[in-house]
Structure 1
């Protein structure tokens, strides 16, 4: 009978410990560099504002060369973060076809 109570309690404790570990990953480290300047280093998962529909390809292709460069992708943080994946042929640019594929998968 006691074993039936210990297992659920153990599962709850394990779940609580895992949640605490996930929170512990967001850290702030403060130190001084060699010149004496204060440095703050934050680590953890990036957060983005709620995203709605992806912008139109033409809105990101500001120079109208029919592709999105890494600099142009910065206007859409989700694409900038996932640029290497979206650029499936690895030519350093995201074509309209690659962008359509990428937006369909998000």
Structure 2
């Protein structure tokens, strides 16, 4: 039993040395697979190499898009339908107000005349 216990560390050391050598081999020197029989029977085709072309001149110009032109804000009475406030559905008639409804209403569900006038002033 003692001989078996003495052989185990020697075997483990040899295995580690062999594994290290296997991992340390250079992988860049890999060879190409041998040519197939079909390619060996046919002579290589003689093709003329295309003449190298100079790279094309490329010019990139980037310009930001023009700012959209907004129609003037309609009067409060037109959007509110004669009421005292503008709902989100009524604000949809003027897209800039519909997009900024939460800001104009300060988080409420309606915009009163004072809030609308302040919003129009801010947009100018």
Name the TM-score, length of structure 2 as normaliser.
Answer: 0.44
Counterpart of 2:39 in structure 1 is none
Counterpart of 2:98 in structure 1 is 80
Query: 1:52-87 deviations in whole A, cap 9, x for unaligned?
Result: 32100000002x331000000000000000101101
Deviation at 1:51, TM superposition (A): 1.8
> Structure 1 residue aligned with 2:117, among 93, 100, 106?
100
Deviation at 1:96, TM superposition (A): 0.4
Asked if residue 54 in structure 1 is aligned to residue 45 in structure 2, the reply is no
Q: 2: CA distance between counterparts of 1:65 and 1:91?
A: 17
Counterpart of 2:85 in structure 1 is 67
Q: 1: CA distance between counterparts of 2:90 and 2:112?
A: 12
Unaligned runs of 5+ in 2: 1-59
SS at 1:71 equivalent: helix
Counterpart of 1:37 in structure 2 is none
CA RMSD of aligned residues (A): 2.5
Q: Choose between structure 1 and 2: higher strand proportion.
A: 1
Counterpart of 2:37 in structure 1 is none
Q: 2: CA distance between counterparts of 1:74 and 1:91?
A: 16
Count of aligned pairs between the two proteins: 63
Name the TM-score, length of structure 1 as normaliser.
Answer: 0.50
**Which stretches of structure 1, 4 residues or longer, exceed 3 Å deviation after superposition?**
none
